[in-house]
Amino acid sequence: MNKTIASSVVGAVAAGAGLGYAVAAKRLASTTATKVAKPRLYIYDHCPFCVRTRMIFGLKGIPVDLVFLANHDEDTPIGLVGKKVVPILETPEGVVMPESMDIVKYVDANYGEKVILAESDPSRTDLKAWIKDSADCMRNLYHPRFHATLFAEFAFQASRDYYKTKKEKTIGPFEDAIAKSPEYLAELNTYLVQLESMLKKPHSVNETLSYDDIDLFGRLRGLTIIKGIEWPPKLQEYIMYMSTVCDIPLLDTLARF
């Protein structure tokens, strides 16, 4: 079975339906810990931390099952790792773990022929500062747009309501953020021009592929849901390359506003 088909089958099972959902989720959590045939990632499609974990499987060419959890499903993640969080990795060896970068490290060390990622470069204070400074503007642009997009994790109204309630606690009413889009978009476009000059190579932010690329592409892929964004050419090349080699589609075809 190829990865796409396996993903949708497992996704459909994990998404469950209606009233039986919580029961099905509990059963799933308690019976699969040692029974998965290949590595499985519990994720949301929109989630930047989840993109990180998908990247390492794509880069190493390791088959993985993707399980798109409903956003309001608390039972499944809590049953697996004791808290409501994704991404979660579950493996045939019986490993069940949260934390995106720990998952990336585990997969890089334990799957495939060799480790492919260099450590994050502590001297990249420019990059760290860029990530910190641009975060608020990005949040205001992507939360309302993720919410308005029919990702698998938002198939249920309850999931969309859950997300909106949670994220409005951090950015305020989505309607206000949408109304201020032109302002945020202009700000973001300026940040992207700055970022372009920080790429040391066409296909890596440092001299070689590293954890800094895992972090960066995780963030940039989510921005492709924003209509009207102006990608500087070198940054565009970078995200298109990462999307291809990691086998993670960009979201531009879903961008509506």
Of the listed pieces 41-49, 61-69, 121-129, 181-189, which binds ligand GSH according to CB under 6 A?
41-49
Tell me how many degrees the CA angle 71-107-97 measures, rounded to the nearest 5.
Answer: 45
Report how far residue 53's alpha carbon sits from residue 19's, in angstroms, rounded to the nearest whole number: 31
Q: x/- string (CB under 6 A) for ligand GSH, residues 89-128?
A: ----------xx----------------------------
CB distance 85 to 98 below 8 Å: yes
Report how far residue 253's alpha carbon sits from residue 162's, in angstroms, rounded to the nearest whole number: 25
Number of residues this chain uses to bind ligand GSH (CB under 6 A): 10
Q: Which of 21, 42, 49, 211 binds ligand GSH (CB under 6 A)?
A: 49
Using the minimum distance from each CB to ligand GSH, give the nearer residue, 33 or 97.
97
Cα atoms found within 13 Å of the Cα of residue 41, Cβ hemisphere only: 27
For 47, phi then psi, to 5°, come to -75, 120
Q: Which of 10, 56, 86, 192 binds ligand GSH (CB under 6 A)?
A: 86
27 lies in the site for ligand GSH, by CB under 6 A:
no
Assigned token pair, 202? 């066409």
Strands 40-43 and 88-90: antiparallel
Using the minimum distance from each CB to ligand GSH, give the nearer residue, 27 or 166.
166
CB of 113 to ligand GSH, least distance (A): 26
Report how far residue 202's alpha carbon sits from residue 211's, in angstroms, rounded to the nearest whole number: 16
Sign of CA dihedral 86, 92, 93, 94: positive
CB of 151 to ligand GSH, least distance (A): 12
Report how far residue 195's alpha carbon sits from residue 230's, in angstroms, rounded to the nearest whole number: 12
CB of 153 to ligand GSH, least distance (A): 9
Of the listed pieces 23-31, 44-52, 113-121, 245-253, which binds ligand GSH according to CB under 6 A?
44-52
Give the contacts of 147 (CB within 8 A, at least 6 positions apart): 154, 160, 163, 164, 167, 174
CB of 65 to ligand GSH, least distance (A): 18
Count of all residues that appear for the chain in the document: 257
84 lies in the site for ligand GSH, by CB under 6 A:
yes
88 lies in the site for ligand GSH, by CB under 6 A:
no
Contact residues for ligand GSH, defined by CB under 6 A? 44, 47, 49, 84-87, 99-100, 166
